[in-house]
């Protein structure tokens, strides 16, 4: 990578392919196999990758190519080396309950500061 490339925060898919010297289909496969590669999306729907994603992709290429690990082995190694863990799914009901609790606490705090709180009806649990 050139010094200019190292300073970027985001990369288009074509740039990632060029820098890693791999094709877009391989990157798409790795996105499914390695949940910690998290490309974003531009307003026009194009994928963009963080510098961290590019670093992970380059490391995966080394692990699979030079060290000849399997996909599962590469995933385990990356998780250990970079302290990466896929975030476990949280049930939406738990998130809603937590958000309501936070809202209630913020309203209590607002009242303690002498500001009237807006009361909204809470949906049935």
Asked if 63 and 105 sit in the same domain, the reply is no
Asked if 95 and 64 sit in the same domain, the reply is no
pLDDT tens readout for residues 44-73: 989 999 999 999 999 999 999 999 999 999
Give how far Cα 118 sits from Cα of 84, 92, 121, Å.
41, 25, 10
* Token pair in block for residue 104: 């209630």
Asked if 32 and 66 sit in the same domain, the reply is yes
Over residues 25-29, mean pLDDT? 95
Asked if 53 and 73 sit in the same domain, the reply is yes
Asked if 11 and 48 sit in the same domain, the reply is yes
Tell me the residue range of the domain where 108 lies. Answer: 89-125
Asked if 11 and 69 sit in the same domain, the reply is yes
Asked if 43 and 97 sit in the same domain, the reply is no
Does the model's pTM come out above 0.85? Answer: no
The fraction of the chain above a pLDDT of 90, given in percent, is 52
Asked if 72 and 102 sit in the same domain, the reply is no
Asked if 62 and 110 sit in the same domain, the reply is no
Taking a C-beta distance cutoff of 8 angstroms, is the pair 50, 10 a contact?
A: yes
pLDDT tens readout for residues 5-24: 557 889 999 999 999 999 99
Which CATH number goes with the domain that contains 56? 1.10.1660.10
What are φ and ψ of residue 76, in 5° steps?
-65, -45
What are φ and ψ of residue 66, in 5° steps?
-70, -45
Over residues 15-44, mean pLDDT? 93
pLDDT of residue 122: 61
The number of domains in the chain is: 2
């Amino acid at each position: 990578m050139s010094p200019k490339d190292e300073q970027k925060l985001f990369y288009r898919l074509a740039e990632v392919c060029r820098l890693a010297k791999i094709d877009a289909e391989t990157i798409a496969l790795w996105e499914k196999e390695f949940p910690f590669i998290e490309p974003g999306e531009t307003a026009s729907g194009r994928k963009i990758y963080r510098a961290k994603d590019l670093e992970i992709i380059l490391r995966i290429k080394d692990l699979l190519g030079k060290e000849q690990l399997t996909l599962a082995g590469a995933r385990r190694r990356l998780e250990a080396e970079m302290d990466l863990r896929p975030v476990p799914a949280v049930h939406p009901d738990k998130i809603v309950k937590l958000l309501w609790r936070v809202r209630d606490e913020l309203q209590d705090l607002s009242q303690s500061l002498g500001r009237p709180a807006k009361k909204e009806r809470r949906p049935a649990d």
